[in-house]
Amino acid sequence: MIIDILSWILLMAGGILGIIGGIGIYRFPDFYSRLHAAGITDTLCALLILLGLGLQAGWGIASFKLALIFIFLLFTCPTASHALANAALHSGLKPKLGKDAARLNHD
Amino acid sequence: MFIAISLAILITMGLALTRALAGPTTYDRIAAVNMFGTKTVLLIAVLALLSGRADLLDIALVYALINFIGVIAALKLVTQGDFHTTDKDTISADKGELE
Is the predicted pLDDT of residue B25 greater than 70, yes or no? yes
B34 with A80: Cβ contact below 8 A: yes
Mean of all residue pLDDT scores within chain A: 86
* Share of residues in chain A with pLDDT > 90 (%): 25
Q: What is the ipTM of this complex?
A: 0.85
Contact between residue B43 and residue B10 where contact means Cβ atoms under 8 Å apart: yes
What pLDDT was estimated at residue B63? 93
Closest alpha carbon to B31 in A47, A37, A23: A37
Residues B32-45 have pLDDT tens digits of 999 999 999 999 99
A87 with B78: Cβ contact below 8 A: yes
Residues A23-55 have pLDDT tens digits of 988 888 888 888 888 888 778 899 999 999 999
> How far apart are the C-alpha atoms of A76 and B79, rounded to whole Å?
20
A–B interface: beta-carbon pairs under 8 A: 149
Contacts of B56 (CB under 8 A, 6+ apart): B44, B47, B48
User: Which one has a higher pLDDT value, B55 or B89?
Assistant: B55
What does pTM read for this prediction? 0.83
Q: Is A66 on the interface with B (CB under 8 A)?
A: yes
Burial (Cβ within 10 Å: 0-12, 13-18, ≥19) of residue B96 = exposed
Q: Which amino acid is at A98?
A: G
Is the predicted pLDDT of residue B79 greater than 90, yes or no? no
B74 half-sphere exposure, CB direction, 13 A CA radius: 19
Burial (Cβ within 10 Å: 0-12, 13-18, ≥19) of residue B84 = middle
What pLDDT was estimated at residue B41? 92
Contacts of B47 (CB under 8 A, 6+ apart): B2, B6, B56
Q: Is A6 on the interface with B (CB under 8 A)?
A: no
User: Which one has a higher pLDDT value, B88 or B61?
Assistant: B61
List chain A domain ranges.
Answer: 2-96
Contact list, B99 vs chain A (CB under 8 Å): none
Q: Report the number of secondary-structure helices (H) and strands (E) in chain B.
A: 4, 0
A88 with B67: Cβ contact below 8 A: no
A66 with B45: Cβ contact below 8 A: yes
| Secondary structure class of B86 (helix, strand, coil) | coil
The angle subtended at Cα A33 by Cα A80 and Cα A93, nearest 5°, is 75
What pLDDT was estimated at residue A5? 92
B64 with A52: Cβ contact below 8 A: no
User: Which one has a higher pLDDT value, A102 or A87?
Assistant: A87
> How far apart are the C-alpha atoms of A29 and A34, rounded to whole Å?
8
